[in-house]
Amino acid sequence: MNASIKENRASSKPSKGWHRILYVQVLAAIVLGIAVGHAWPDFGKSLKPLGDGFINLIKMIISPIIFCTVVHGIASMGDLKKLGRVGFKTLLYFEVVSTLALIIGLVVVNVFKPGAGFNIDAATLDPNIAKTYLDKSHALTTTDFFLNIIPKTFFGAFVSGDLLQVLVIAVLVAFAIAAMGQHGKPLLRGIEYGSQVFFGVLKIIVKFAPIGAFGAMGFTIGSYGLEALNNLVALMIGFYTTAILFVVVVLGSIAWFSGFSIFRFIAYIKEEILLVIGTSSSETALPGMIKKMERLGCSESTVGLVVPTGYSFNLDGTNIYMTMAAVFLAQATNTPLDLKQQITLLIVAMITSKGASGVTGAGFVTLAATLSAVPSVPIASLALLVGIDRFMSECRALTNLVGNGVATVVISRWENEVTPDILNKNLRLTLGNSVVKP
């Protein structure tokens, strides 16, 4: 009854003008950025601070939002056995789907061989370009990765913006508050109020999304030009096609078995998708995804655990890219890779991919880490991909975004937090108050 009343009230509200809808503004800004970057390349390059500034604003608010969401979700759960169960299911799902993405990328690049016939001599490439990313990748070794999960100080996690470090701090604080029993209730209410404040700040920041998207796209086209899309076009088409098929076929099948449509889900998160297209970073859409997953009916505790963890452990797009790009470079430089070497590459990629985050360019750094562990592929060949990495980054980020969203709904369905009927009803509704609760 209450749900029906809310739906009627929502439907009676005056509709918002199309020009005031955020995703329409972002889409228009992307098109304008492409036009400006193409017509006035130098001016387009000068727009870079607009995109960087918006991404920094989003990154500024992500850590406190993640902290409040995770702490409140876990501490209010009350059932620590459920936390362990959800955590185990989440990591198992991530590992299976991520490994599947790696294998698919490996199969596709071996079948279509986009690098065959390039005949690139790695000795003629600038080694300094690859060295820049290789230096960054040294921090992604297995030992350093696990040590890096532990922040040097409590507030150091918030300063660095490392989501895994924030997640560790949040889980510890949540357990501590839960152990306090009734005495922890006031702290929990304070965390909830803090979350409302930070989401209020985010609501203000997101209004500047069109400006950020305009600046980022203007810089990309101004720097590389539309002709950059013609370079290595076979790899780009192969990667985009593989990513789309992965989303539609693999994630679509998972969604279907869980009782919802992948296409309806994509339409539901269209604002976040356009935000990622404009900024080439899935991190900018993280706070919005948290809210939308909760609006679908997923519990706060499940969302708070699955979404942030997925940004480091469930990067489907990055996984597809790494195996395809690594084998592509081997093909382009006529470097033979036998089955044993490719399996080694797959295993290394499984480890290095866990250190990537939603930050623009992180996939390229993890690719450098992967190649450094498979020395048969010349590391200098990374220079071949620098010019188009910005365009590849968008596809990586979009695939990661959809993958993490689907994972959250699937885990929530496994926990019987939301039924297929309620889930599909919420997917049809707009982001008003007319959300059906389980």
pLDDT single digits (tens) 345-398: 787 777 666 655 544 455 666 676 677 666 677 777 776 676 566 677 778 888
Containing structural domain, residue 30: 16-428
Q: Which residues contact 221 (CB under 8 A, 6 or more apart)?
A: 33, 34, 36, 37, 38, 41, 44
| Residue 35 belongs to a domain | yes
| Residue 414 belongs to a domain | yes
| Residue 137 belongs to a domain | yes
| Residue 3 belongs to a domain | no
Interior angle at CA 150, CA 149 and CA 151, nearest 5: 110
Separation between Cα atoms, residue 131 and residue 127, nearest integer Å:
6
Separation between Cα atoms, residue 393 and residue 236, nearest integer Å:
11
- Write down the pTM of the prediction: 0.71
Q: How confident is the model at residue 262 (pLDDT cuts 50, 70, 90)?
A: very high
Residues of the chain above pLDDT 70, percent: 75
Residue 232 confidence (pLDDT) = 55
- Looking at the predicted structure, is the pLDDT value of residue 201 above 80? yes
| Residue 435 belongs to a domain | no
Domain count, the chain: 1
| Tokens, residue 68 | 């409040």
* DSSP, residue by residue, 25-86: HHHHHHHHHHHHHHH-HHHHHTTHHHHHHHHHHHHHHHHHHHHHHHHHHHHTT--HHHHHHH
> CATH number, domain at 287?
1.10.3860.10
| Residue 149 belongs to a domain | yes
Taking alpha carbons only, the member of 393, 400, 415 closest to residue 313 is 400
Residue 149 confidence (pLDDT) = 74
- Looking at the predicted structure, is the pLDDT value of residue 134 above 70? no
